[in-house]
Structures are given as C-alpha cells and as structure tokens.
Amino acid sequence: MAETDVSRSESDRLAERGFFGRAIQRPEIGAFVAMIVVVIALAWASNGLAFNALGIRNNLSIIALLGIITTGACLLMIAGEFDLSIGSMIGFAGMSMAMMMKWGLPFGMGEATPLAAFALTLCMTLAIGWLIGTIVVRSGLSSFIVTLGFLFFLRGLTEVCFRLFNEGSTQISGLRDFKEESWVAYAFGGESFQFLYTWAYELGFNLNRRGEQWVTGLDARVAWWIGLTIVAWIVLSRTQLGNWIYATGDNKDAARANGVPVNKVKIGLFMFTAFCATLFAACQVFDTNTSDAAKGNLKELEAIATAVVGGTLMTGGFGSIMGIVFGAVIFGLVQNAVFFIPWLDGSYYRVFLGTVLLVAAFANESIRKRITGGI
C-alpha cells in the first residue's frame, strides 16, 4: 500500500513538472508574463484610470487595430516570409475608399456606397497581395526586398493620387457619416458589445458623474479582431492548412517533397496580409470619416515587432496566435499609456518597443533551441 502511495506521489510530481515544463516551452509564455507586468504597472501608475469603462474602450481600440495587422504578419512569418508593405497598404486602401465615397466609382459607374467602396478596394489590395506573393515565389528574391519595394511604391502612389484628385491635398476629411445610413459603414466604424456596457451599467458600474450610462460599447474593430483571431487560431491549430503553414516555414524543401503546395501557401498568406491591412483601413475610415496619405506609417514594423514579442520566430516555423494577442495587448497598453500618465512622454513608446523586441528575440531563440535540442 505504501509502495503504491509512493508511486502515486512520484507520478503526481512528474505530472506537475511536466505541466510547468510544457508551459515554459510555449512560444507565448514570455509575452504572457510581460503582459501581466504591463497591466499591473499601468493600473498602478494611472490609479486605475486605464481600466475604467472609458479606459478599457480606448485601450481595446488601439489593441484591436494592432492585433488585426499582426495576425496577418504572424501567419506570414510562420511561413518564413515578411511583408513590409502592410503600412503602405493601409494608406493606399484608406485613400481608395475615401476617394470613391467622395467622388463616386471610377469610369462613371455612379455613386459609391460603403459596400462598393470597400469591395472594390479589397479587390485591388488582394490583387496587389497576389502580385507580391507571385514575385517572391517565382523570382526567388527575398520577401524583404520585394515588399520593401512595394512599401515605397504604394506610399508614393497614394500621395500621387491624393495630389492629383484632391487639389494637392494629401488628406480627405469631412466625409458624410455613412454609419447612420449603411450597415457596412456601421459594421466597420460603429460599436460592438453594447450589451456588456449596458450590463455593467445595470450592475452599478459604467456611470458618469450624473449617474447616467457613461460608455455605450466598444469600437466595432474589437469584434473584427476577435473574429479574425478565432479564425486564425482554428486554421493554425485545427486544419491541414495550418500544418502546411508551419511546414513551409520550418523547411520548405521538405514540405514540398511531402506534397505541401508551398507556393500557393505563401501567395495566399501575402493576400491575407493585404486583407488585414484593408480591414484596418476600413475601420479607420468609417470611424473617423477621414483619410490621410500618412495613415499606416511604420505599422508594418509594429506588426512584426508584436509578432516577435508574441513568440514568432523571424526564421519561420514557430509561433502562435495567443502570443499575438498577448503582444498586441502589451504594445497597445504602452502606446496608450501617455493618455493616462501625465508625466509620461510619448517618445518612450519607441524606447520600450525597441528594448522589448531585442529581449523577445533572444528569449524566442532560447526557447527554440530548448525545443529542438539546440539545432
């Protein structure tokens, strides 16, 4: 009996050790720990203001946009490629939608509804994503160089179009608030999860100084981010396509030898990053009713940095969607911290971004070597 108890206790200890061992080897464990530290630090430094009803809304607005483009960047990085044109694609897509809604559809096709503007813009950006992917896989050139070229091309094209069709100005403002008349505009720029804030109000929270409901809901972009995250997680962890993505990034030659359509996977993922950039732009345009040639500037670097902090290796074949969630929360909270901590200069965000990126890169490489046995 005693021997049985000893065996059981030993197995329990081994099981416990195995759980912590698996946790330490998870690619997103570093991002999770860092996220907890940032949440606690921001709550303390802001006296809780960062996490009241309005603070949560504002934080999630920034986190959601960063999470949307990082999801696309993450899947592409797992497949072993980069897309430096994401930020320029955001500016191009925003310009396209705003111009069509202001002056109508091209070729005299009439007035542009939000649905038509978004659909035509998406067709263009997906075609550009397909072109980028095709050039990468057909030419054998580095995706870093190809997408760097498209970064300059799309940013320049956006500015040229603004100046040609917008009387020299690189900004369109004062668009009609289509959210009041179009479900498409409201789906991108309206609100979501209103029931949560209504429920909080009924429980005695979410009150302004007059005792009325303070915040009515979250931005619609939060729902898009959550939906995109769920779909990406299912694809990576539950489908054959997810296996193909990991295999392509781990060893494309071996993957091709085992029947993986490597070229189609890569081209599809470049199109997916274009979709994420277009979704980002639509949420901005329909929320603010404006567009600017500078929109999306440096967002490609923030997306890559967030993916790395979330545990995605720059060498490919390693990463997770949950890590992206943690990374987006970290950078979103820090980026928005300046609004809750008066003495904090916004320039510190770049300092934090660079420091955390370097630390995460070293940590991710250490985790990879532990998992692969030092290979």
Domain contains 8:
no
pLDDT at 361: 78
Confidence band of 24 (pLDDT split at 50, 70, 90): low
pLDDT at res. 18: 59
When pLDDT is averaged across residues 255-262 and rounded to a whole number, the result is 96
Mean pLDDT of 259-277: 97
What's residue 102's pLDDT?
87
What pLDDT does 134 receive?
98
pLDDT-based confidence at 14, cuts 50/70/90?
A: very low
| In the predicted structure, residue 171 carries a pLDDT above the cut 80 | yes
Residue 230 within a domain = yes
Residue 104 burial (C-beta neighbours within 10 Å; 0-12, 13-18, 19+): middle
Q: What pLDDT is stored for residue 4 in this prediction? A: 42
Residue 199: Cβ within 10 Å count: 12
Class of residue 56 by CB neighbours under 10 A (exposed 0-12, middle 13-18, buried 19+): middle
Domain boundaries, position 190: 44-372
End-to-end Cα, the chain, rounded Å: 45
Is residue 357 included in any domain, yes or no?
yes
pLDDT at 336: 87
Residue 306 has pLDDT above 90, yes or no: yes
Q: How confident is the model at residue 374 (pLDDT cuts 50, 70, 90)?
A: low
pLDDT for residue 110: 61
Q: What is the mean pLDDT of residues 315-331?
A: 91
Average of per-residue pLDDT across 7-33: 59
Domain contains 281 = yes
pLDDT digits (tens, 9 = 90+) for 193-218: 999 999 988 888 888 788 888 899 99
Pick the range with the lowest mean pLDDT from 96-105, 272-281, 364-373: 364-373
Name 244's Cβ contacts closer than 8 Å, sequence gap at least 6: 255, 260, 261, 262, 265
Q: Which amino acid is at 190?
A: G
Q: Which residue has the higher pLDDT, 342 or 320?
A: 320
How many structural domains does the chain have? 1
Average pLDDT of the segment spanning 35-58: 91
pLDDT for position 180: 87
Report, as an integer, the average pLDDT of 257-285: 97
Is the model's pLDDT at 372 over the cut of 80? no
Instruction: Grade residue 5 by pLDDT with cuts at 50, 70 and 90.
Output: very low
Q: What is the pLDDT of residue 2?
A: 42
Question: CB burial class (10 A; 0-12, 13-18, 19+) of residue 362?
Answer: exposed
- Band (3; pLDDT cuts 50, 70, 90): very low
Pick from 223, 255, 268, 232: nearest CA to 129: 268
Predicted local confidence at residue 178, as pLDDT? 92
Q: Is residue 22 part of a domain?
A: no
Q: Is 154 within the bounds of a domain? A: yes
pTM of the shown model = 0.90
Q: What is the mean pLDDT of residues 51-64?
A: 93
3-state SS, the chain, equals CHHHHHHHHHHHHHHHHHHHHHHHHCCCHHHHHHHHHHHHHHHHHCCCHHHCHHHHHHHHHHHHHHHHHHHHHHHHHHCCCCCCCHHHHHHHHHHHHHHHHHHCCHHHCCCCCHHHHHHHHHHHHHHHHHHHHHHHHHHCCCHHHHHHHHHHHHHHHHHHHHHHHCCCCCEECCCCCHHHCCHHHHHHHCEECHHHHHHHHHCCCCECCCCCECCCCEEHHHHHHHHHHHHHHHHHHHCHHHHHHHHHHHCHHHHHHCCCCHHHHHHHHHHHHHHHHHHHHHHHHHHHCCEECCCCCCHHHHHHHHHHHCCCCCCCCCCCHHHHHHHHHHHHHHHHHHHCCCCCCCCHHHHHHHHHHHHHHHHHHHHHHHHHCCC
Question: Which pLDDT score, from 0 to 100, does residue 11 have?
Answer: 44
- Residue 143 pLDDT > 90, yes or no? yes
111 within domain boundaries: yes
Mean pLDDT estimate for the chain: 87
pLDDT band at 9 (very low <50, low <70, confident <90, very high): very low
Kindly report which listed range (9-18, 69-78, 240-249) carries the lowest average pLDDT score.
Answer: 9-18
Torsion region of 361: left, alpha or beta (phi above 0 gives left; psi -120 to 50 gives alpha): alpha
> Considering the domain boundaries, does residue 5 fall inside one?
no
pLDDT above 70 for 104: yes
